[in-house]
Amino acid sequence: MREFKQLTPYREALEMMLNDIKEIEEIEELPLDDALGRVLAEDVISLIDLPPFDRSAVDGYAVRAEDTFQAREYSPVELEVIDEITAGMESKKEVSNGKAVKLMTGNKMPKGANAVIEQEKVKREGNKIYVLRPVAPGQNVAFKGEDVKKGEVVLKKGQILRPQDLGLLKGIGIKRVTVKRRPKVGIIVTGDELIEEPDEEALNEGKILESNSAMLKALIRQYFGESIFYGVIPDDEELIGATLERAKCECDLVLITGGSAFGEKDYAHKFVNLLFHGTTIKPGRPIGYGERIFVMSGYPAAVFAQFHLYVKYALAKLSGANYKPTKVKARLKEKVPSSLGRHEFVKVYYENGEAVPIKKKGSGIMSALVESNAYLEIPEDSEGYKEGEEVWVVLY
Amino acid sequence: MREFKQLTPYREALEMMLNDIKEIEEIEELPLDDALGRVLAEDVISLIDLPPFDRSAVDGYAVRAEDTFQAREYSPVELEVIDEITAGMESKKEVSNGKAVKLMTGNKMPKGANAVIEQEKVKREGNKIYVLRPVAPGQNVAFKGEDVKKGEVVLKKGQILRPQDLGLLKGIGIKRVTVKRRPKVGIIVTGDELIEEPDEEALNEGKILESNSAMLKALIRQYFGESIFYGVIPDDEELIGATLERAKCECDLVLITGGSAFGEKDYAHKFVNLLFHGTTIKPGRPIGYGERIFVMSGYPAAVFAQFHLYVKYALAKLSGANYKPTKVKARLKEKVPSSLGRHEFVKVYYENGEAVPIKKKGSGIMSALVESNAYLEIPEDSEGYKEGEEVWVVLY
């Protein structure tokens, strides 16, 4: 096996890759109900004020605040109730000196009124109320546009749509949103040793059940994309070349696993004009990238690290998503040594501010992935962290 | 409006509700590709060892470690290469004294060999290799079952399936998983003031665009469920009663928004035998629960808080999900005062260990929801937190 002459530092390779990847231009228009998790393709500007009018923030009496300034518990101010409305109604009466309108939370403020007194804070007798304390102008009023102003950008291009975003959009009268098309990501799994179906005899002879496709399909879905699986391809130079060519035409991004090193049967890099091949990450060092193709390891734990360190950022760039990994402070329960010169991807289990490193070694170990729920990155210039040290972990 | 006689403390109400809710019994069998985010209905036990055999963890030469103990750079040990195999093949040769078999990462260990030397660490000449350093027994060997043992529980009932879980399942030969049926959650939105379609005239008269349905549909999807929307129902006692009845029959859980207080038109609680009505949470105090029905507020920000403080835990219980909210340590950028006796739900923007409280007040304020990405809970016995204090926030 030829060794990598030089490993490209993690961040340098990341930047090269991200500079090469272009945001997808195609957009789709979707009803709100289908837009959860999708990426906004343009700024959304509100065409209305929210609230669309000054409205009451409580159930109570709309009054002129000035009328209440003299109100004291021992000398209440008497006001006349000239109208009573319920939800969704509008009072046509004007509140002048000494008058009040009974209304409910959300009702439009009647003309003349500039404050609302909560109903439990007055005494009611017939069509009179007795105000015991003054209210300030504006008190208990939600003003027109105080939530959202007409013409205001409420959500920016690149927003990954969440439940509250969809609620706001519905609340300002938007029924359909323009989102980016999902990136199409091809998955090619290579390796003579791999089988897709459990087969005891084959397993005994040294075959291995392929597992990268299931993991990658789900990761791609989690990170804004949709996957096309090209199957498990044997280590056949021609077949791999043809499959790569097809996938490149049909997809925005291609992930080919296995054959990323320089073994006799590592063909993938022969077909791709690689921008880099071999970076300082550990595990996953043999990763290569060029022409919208990631040449990845065969081992699931290495593939997983390569996905989180490189591929997810490629997917965010492609889909125009304003994505940042969630960084969380955690106290390390055990020391984590690291080799100088390697950008280590350390699987941890995070809970309530503590991170337990998952000690199982080896890029073939899948149970370690399952036990972890976050990762810690240790850059090239660090020899690792001590027990009890505070570190940043990224939640999966 | 009648006031709440007594507010049930947040946690007490939560426990009452969770005690009342029973896990769904129905299960579904799904192919792995459809199982992301679904909840395992039973423990998964591996039927195979992983690796299924002792295998090489590197590309190199399988040897008897004892043969290399004397190897030194100045006096290398010579071994004869008796076989060479590539990926997925098995060597039928036995490695005896002084012999070696060339193999690749993942290959089954040949009989007699107990260690592998990386190929870049030997000198090769014809069918001889020269070993420069000793290797220990077991070195570079991945032992049968070291990742997963036959008969071992690899994933537990209640696991919310993630990409790495699906990878592991595929790797141990499992093609279909048994998951819980998704809880069906009915949404009923009530209020005479609400309209579904933007209509300038109606808006000017005091109507409001309904937004809870869009937000709740997405929240339910995010938290293990699927929603059925029963539309916007006017404040009509009979209509609300009939819709509730229907939704109760068709769904595992029903959320009815609007009409949770004691206003003249707050009908919802009349139809439900409530276990509690009114809790110490803020916003969202008028929440009620009984008979698998949540009687919720009309205001989106209150509904959002009620969902995160109560409904999502109900959904986790229904679907049998082993769900814990992700708690993250954050330094408060501004003080957050809180009233004694209230369990406050404070929206914050979390980034890199810092939390900025979103100051906009009022349960009608939707833009505050959009600006936030996490929340801080302040229990009843706390008067809030100071600027710079470290607090726990929960990420949405």
A362 with B57: Cβ contact below 8 A: yes
Domain range summary for chain A, segments of one domain joined by +: 10-25+182-319, 27-50+151-180, 55-142, 327-395
Query: What is the CATH architecture of B327-395?
Result: Beta Barrel (2.40)
Given a cut of 80, whether residue B348 has pLDDT beyond it is yes
Question: CATH homologous superfamily for A10-25+182-319?
Answer: MoaB/Mog-like domain (3.40.980.10)
**Contact criterion met (CB below 8 Å) for B256 and B248:** no
Given a cut of 80, whether residue B239 has pLDDT beyond it is yes
A395 with B191: Cβ contact below 8 A: no
Question: CATH homologous superfamily for B27-48+153-180?
Answer: Molybdopterin biosynthesis moea protein, domain 2 (3.90.105.10)
User: What pLDDT sits at residue A363?
Assistant: 61
Q: Which of B36, B191, B370 sits opposite A165 (nearest CB)?
A: B370
DSSP class of B75: B
Q: In chain B, what residues touch A32 (CB-CB under 8 Å)?
A: 214
CATH of domain B10-25+182-318: 3.40.980.10
Residue of B nearest to A38 (CA): B218
φ/ψ bin of A322: left (φ > 0), alpha (ψ from -120 to 50), beta (otherwise): beta
User: B245-272 pLDDT, tens per residue?
Assistant: 999 999 999 999 987 666 666 777 788 9
User: What pLDDT sits at residue A118?
Assistant: 93
User: What pLDDT sits at residue A377?
Assistant: 98
Give yes or no for A88 touching B (CB within 8 A): yes
User: What pLDDT sits at residue A361?
Assistant: 67
Amino acid, res. B329: K
User: B46-86 pLDDT, tens per residue?
Assistant: 999 999 889 998 889 999 999 999 999 999 999 999 999 98
Pairing assessment for the beta strands A281-282 and A253-257 based on DSSP bridges: unpaired
Given a cut of 60, whether residue B108 has pLDDT beyond it is yes
Question: CATH homologous superfamily for A27-50+151-180?
Answer: Molybdopterin biosynthesis moea protein, domain 2 (3.90.105.10)
User: B302-327 pLDDT, tens per residue?
Assistant: 999 999 999 999 999 999 999 999 99
Query: What is the CATH architecture of B55-142?
Result: Beta Complex (2.170)
Q: What is the mean pLDDT of residues B363-376?
A: 90
A51 with B192: Cβ contact below 8 A: no
Given a cut of 60, whether residue B188 has pLDDT beyond it is yes
A214 with B32: Cβ contact below 8 A: yes
Q: Which of B168, B261, B396 sits opposite A211 (nearest CB)?
A: B168
Give yes or no for B381 touching A (CB within 8 A): no
Q: What is the mean pLDDT of residues B140-153?
A: 94
What token pair was written down for B261?
Answer: 């207080």
| B274 min Cα distance to partner chain A (Å) | 23
| Regions of chain A with pLDDT less than 50 | 1
B1 with A162: Cβ contact below 8 A: no
B88 with A206: Cβ contact below 8 A: yes
Would you tell me which residues 177-216 of chain A have a C-beta closer than 8 angstroms to some C-beta of chain B? Answer: 191-194, 197-198, 203-216
B55-142 and B327-395, same CATH topology: no
